[in-house]
A = this chain, B = another copy of it.
Amino acid sequence: MSDNSALLARRERLLGRNMSTFYQDPVHLVKGEGVWVWDAGGRKYLDCYNNVPHVGHCHPRVVEAICRQASVLNTHTRYLHEGILDYVERLTATFDPSLDTAILTCTGSEANDIALRMAQAVTGKTGVIATDHTYHGNTAAVSQLSTRMPPVGGYGGHVRHVPAPDGYRPLGGVAGEAFTEAWALALEAAIADLKATPFGFSALIIDPFFANEGFPDLPAGFLSRAAAIVKREGGLLISDEVQPGFGRTGTHMWGHQRAGIVPDVVTLGKPMGNGHPVGGVVANSETLNAFRKAFRYFNTFGGNPVSCAAAMAVLDVIEDEKLQDNARQVGAYAVAGLGRLAEKHGIIGNVRGSGLFFGAELVLDRAEKTPATDIATRVINEMRARGVLMGKLGIHQNATKIRPPMPFSRENADFMLSTLDDVLSGL
């Protein structure tokens, strides 16, 4: 164990109790480069977790863009500046032509806080539907979507939940179209329930990759059916791209494109500025104008020249270093490797993912699919002890969460796989 006791005591004194850390033995990081991070003792770790340093920790082109713009001008959008215009033009060009305008924020939470109000402005309603194992951010309004913990003062009553889709344990035990249909019925019921209240139905908000729900394998057309229902019922479809966006899933730039749908509103966060605090909301101009008219939003730091320079550099690097394609190839390679580990280790019940967001669901027995939640915790701690950082997630918190910076290579995957093989062998 590292001796972090003094640092942990200082944290509790200055930041309060109950501030979460990763791992039983937390890591004290001091340096990052590409897919690697170093702790205070000089130990090197392979980062298989962090999606915020999307194009790699401390990518020199992003750092250079930040330094250059920070030394020239950093101010707000009530003055004119080309930085935000160049960025939004470049960003929206990666979307369906209907998604042609944007508001920039500082965090994904702020983006989702706006997205919910966009749906209110367009529909005049306030009821929202989300899945029962999702997380869309930390503001008071967005936290209302979470089922984790009832807020003080109670839930607002305007949120309905649909079951988190689970391809490994599908709703009602059905597969394929029947699974899609079962979920569609749950969605229709939630909408009908909201419509029977004064809240009405304003939006379905989902991560189209369902990352926090455990990135399930879903039948083709799964979300098309849901999108059609939302449209028919007069609501907006909000696609939270904080996790699958910016090419992470390998096959597509955006998770909703991979799912084959065109949402009404898209929200962006974490990877957008490679760690610089920037987020955003992309929508068609009518939706965005309705929001501005109804709420007169202004964000002091949102869209400032430095944030836009950082975000633009991220797009440049994704393109120039072909990182989406790298995610597709290395992700497929790593998933195949996990598949081989599954042949050897019975605890791996299911292997899935797309691009550089993948993992294995650990189960106590394959027939019953009993979640091996405690063992998953032990596995990620053992991996950390051996120099590989990853997390866990999913409905049962028993799936490994492997979501490395995008320059992750086959060699990196091999190191992660061989370490995981060792850890699983030692259980």
Among B16, B100, B102, B141, contact of A139 (Cβ-Cβ < 8 Å): B141
Are B28 and A81 in contact, CB atoms less than 8 angstroms apart? yes
Q: How large is the interface on A (under 10, 10 to 19, 20 to 34, 35 or more residues)?
A: 35 or more
Among B28, B285, B292, contact of A79 (Cβ-Cβ < 8 Å): B28
Residue of B nearest to A135 (CB): B298
Of the candidate stretches A116-124, A220-228, A392-400, the one touching chain B is: A116-124
Kindly state whether residue A325 has any CB partner on chain B within 8 Å: no
Best-surrounded residue of A15, A80, A116 (most CB of chain B within 10 A): A80
Kindly state whether residue A37 has any CB partner on chain B within 8 Å: yes
Of the candidate stretches A69-77, A167-175, A413-421, the one touching chain B is: A69-77
* Interchain CA distance A30-B74 in the complex, whole Å: 9
Are A120 and B296 in contact, CB atoms less than 8 angstroms apart? no
Contact with B along A58-89 (1 / 0, CB 8 A): 10101100110011111111111110110011
Kindly state whether residue A57 has any CB partner on chain B within 8 Å: yes
In the complex, chain B residues whose CB is within 8 Å of the CB of A149: 294-296
Contact with B along A29-73 (1 / 0, CB 8 A): 111100001000000000000101100011010110011001111
Are A140 and B126 in contact, CB atoms less than 8 angstroms apart? no
* A residues at B contact (CB < 8 Å): 4, 7-8, 10-11, 13-22, 26-32, 37, 50, 52-53, 57-58, 60, 62-63, 66-67, 70-82, 84-85, 88-89, 92, 100-103, 106-110, 113, 116-117, 120-121, 124-126, 138-141, 143, 148-149, 151-153, 158, 199, 269-270, 274-278, 285, 288-289, 292-301, 303-304, 306-307
* Interchain CA distance A104-B288 in the complex, whole Å: 29
Which 5 pairs of residues, A with B, have the shortest CB-CB distance?
A140-B141, A74-B275, A126-B153, A120-B152, A277-B301
Residue of B nearest to A291 (CB): B16
Given A32-B74, A52-B301, A277-B278, 12 extra CB contacts under 8 A: A14-B92, A16-B292, A17-B285, A17-B292, A19-B77, A20-B296, A26-B79, A31-B73, A57-B74, A62-B70, A113-B139, A153-B199
* Interchain CA distance A295-B138 in the complex, whole Å: 9
CB within 8 Å for A298 and B20 given contacts A70-B63, A82-B7, A275-B75: yes
Measured CB to CB, the closest approach of chain B to A45, in angstroms, equals: 10
In the complex, chain B residues whose CB is within 8 Å of the CB of A106: 106-107, 110, 277, 301
In the complex, chain B residues whose CB is within 8 Å of the CB of A300: 52, 107-108, 269-270
* Interchain CA distance A188-B14 in the complex, whole Å: 34
CB within 8 Å for A295 and B143 given contacts A73-B32, A289-B17, A300-B107: yes
Residue of B nearest to A22 (CB): B78
Residue of B nearest to A32 (CB): B73
* Interchain CA distance A288-B270 in the complex, whole Å: 25
Are A18 and B289 in contact, CB atoms less than 8 angstroms apart? yes
* Interchain CA distance A303-B396 in the complex, whole Å: 30
In the complex, chain B residues whose CB is within 8 Å of the CB of A275: 70, 74-75, 301, 304, 306
In the complex, chain B residues whose CB is within 8 Å of the CB of A78: 20-22, 26
* Interchain CA distance A62-B71 in the complex, whole Å: 9
Among B50, B85, B107, B307, contact of A10 (Cβ-Cβ < 8 Å): B85
* Interchain CA distance A264-B48 in the complex, whole Å: 41
Are B16 and A103 in contact, CB atoms less than 8 angstroms apart? yes
Among B37, B125, B141, B277, contact of A73 (Cβ-Cβ < 8 Å): B37
Are B299 and A109 in contact, CB atoms less than 8 angstroms apart? yes
Are B77 and A151 in contact, CB atoms less than 8 angstroms apart? no
In the complex, chain B residues whose CB is within 8 Å of the CB of A126: 152-153
Among B11, B101, B138, B270, contact of A14 (Cβ-Cβ < 8 Å): B101
Q: Can you list 26 A-B pairs, Cβ within 8 angstroms, ordered by A?
A: A7-B80, A13-B100, A14-B88, A14-B92, A15-B102, A18-B289, A18-B296, A21-B79, A22-B78, A29-B80, A53-B74, A58-B73, A62-B70, A63-B71, A107-B110, A109-B110, A110-B110, A110-B138, A110-B139, A125-B153, A126-B153, A138-B297, A140-B141, A152-B294, A153-B158, A275-B304
